[in-house]
Amino acid sequence: MAELQEVQITEEKPLLPGQTPEAAKEAELAAQILLDQGQTHSVETPYGSVTFTVYGTPKPKRPAILTYHDVGLNYKSCFQPLFQFGDMQEIIQNFVRVHVDAPGMEEGAPVFPLGYQYPSLDQLADMIPCVLQYLNFSTVIGVGVGAGAYILSRYALNHPDTVEGLVLINIDPNAKGWMDWAAHKLTGLTSSIPEMILGHLFSQEELSGNSELIQKYRNIITHAPNLDNIELYWNSYNNRRDLNFERGGDITLKCPVMLVVGDQAPHEDAVVECNSKLDPTQTSFLKMADSGGQPQLTQPGKLTEAFKYFLQGMGYMASSCMTRLSRSRTASLTSAASIDGNRSRSRTLSQSSESGTLSSGPPGHTMEVSC
């Protein structure tokens, strides 16, 4: 009779005392549901309290994706359609997400007392280090829209070592000139705050069309219980300082940047000008067809695809499948690539509804990927 050998079996996840395997599985499922729903935190900063919601768990040697929303919105109304899009799931499984709400913009936020001094956009940017310190995160990839894009840019200028990449939608890096200021004052005499903010978020064509999307966001902003807070954020945005970007100068974004704007967006000219001031070897420009003023709401599929390419250019998600382009076979990508250090690659993208292609900007070594 062959000699029996003693085999020691250990559990990969030891059970708590008195816990059955079924109870352990239920606890693990409940924990996963909690992560999927997000965990909301608040932290005190030199300029007041800021609220943020974290989804997922940190991944080793990977930055967090940190978002910042535009005026009139919060993180849910600004980013939920994008991050709940089917093809985006591959991205969010690989990165922890931190969605920052500007002070007073979070759901259920109390209205600030009369005379409250709302932080400037520069001060809102200075709150972000407190968030990262609280979470013990060392680097981020920022995704910002409008005022949020400005805030993340200001943060990146002040803390370049903590920003690996930026996706900036509808950024206007310029301070308001006298003509803009006068036009804003005149508009304020004839338009309500909600209408002015809607004109900031959407194109006139979209507002005139009064689609279901426009009706939804007009209702959100007009009937917002924290409308007074929204007006304070709006005033801070209109009083922003010039970022003073200068191509070849000392004041510039050091990380890879993807600039995004819709072909009907009210900020198209500002984004084009911003692109002309940034380092062309580090900057991608994506002009999205048929996307209006908020491409993350109206074209989440196209933006997700571009975001995947952007992450791949930074050295992440190399094996990611470009599923939407594979299905449609209507888009191609041309990239002008240059390598600087371990993880540096550039692309300049523009999208045309007539050609259905993504085409390159500056000449050089190009690679066309047709899926």
CATH number (domain holding residue 270): 3.40.50.1820
SS3 78: helix
| 73 in a structural domain | yes
- Distance CA(124)–CA(154), nearest Å, equals 9
> What pLDDT is recorded for position 293?
94
SS3 123: helix
Are the beta carbons of 53 and 99 closer than 8 angstroms?
Answer: yes
- Distance CA(74)–CA(102), nearest Å, equals 8
| 220 in a structural domain | yes
| 338 in a structural domain | no
> What pLDDT is recorded for position 318?
78
| 231 in a structural domain | yes
- How does pLDDT run across 51-75, given as a tens digit for each residue? 999 999 998 889 999 999 999 999 9
> What pLDDT is recorded for position 22?
63
**Following DSSP, what letter does each residue of 10-54 receive, concatenated?**
--SSPPPTT--HHHHHHHHHHHHHHHHH-EEEEEEETTEEEEEEE
pTM: 0.79
- Distance CA(78)–CA(293), nearest Å, equals 12
| 241 in a structural domain | yes
> What pLDDT is recorded for position 258?
98
Q: C-alpha angle with apex 168: 341 to 249, nearest 5 degrees?
A: 55
| 41 in a structural domain | yes
| 238 in a structural domain | yes
User: Domain range holding 220?
Assistant: 33-313
Parts of the chain with a pLDDT under 70: 1-37, 177-190, 319-371
> What pLDDT is recorded for position 151?
98
| 12 in a structural domain | no
- Distance CA(346)–CA(359), nearest Å, equals 13
> What pLDDT is recorded for position 49?
96
The two three-digit tokens of residue 304, written as one number? 């997700």
- Distance CA(105)–CA(51), nearest Å, equals 9
The two three-digit tokens of residue 346, written as one number? 């550039």
Distances (CA, A) of 221 to 28, 99, 230, 232, 350: 38, 20, 9, 14, 31
- Distance CA(252)–CA(259), nearest Å, equals 14
Q: Tell me how far apart the terminal alpha carbons of the chain are, to the nearest angstrom.
A: 63
Strands (E), the chain: 39-45, 48-55, 64-68, 97-101, 140-145, 163-169, 257-262, 283-288, 332-336, 350-351, 358-359, 366-370
> What pLDDT is recorded for position 79?
97
Q: Could you give the number of structural domains in the chain?
A: 1
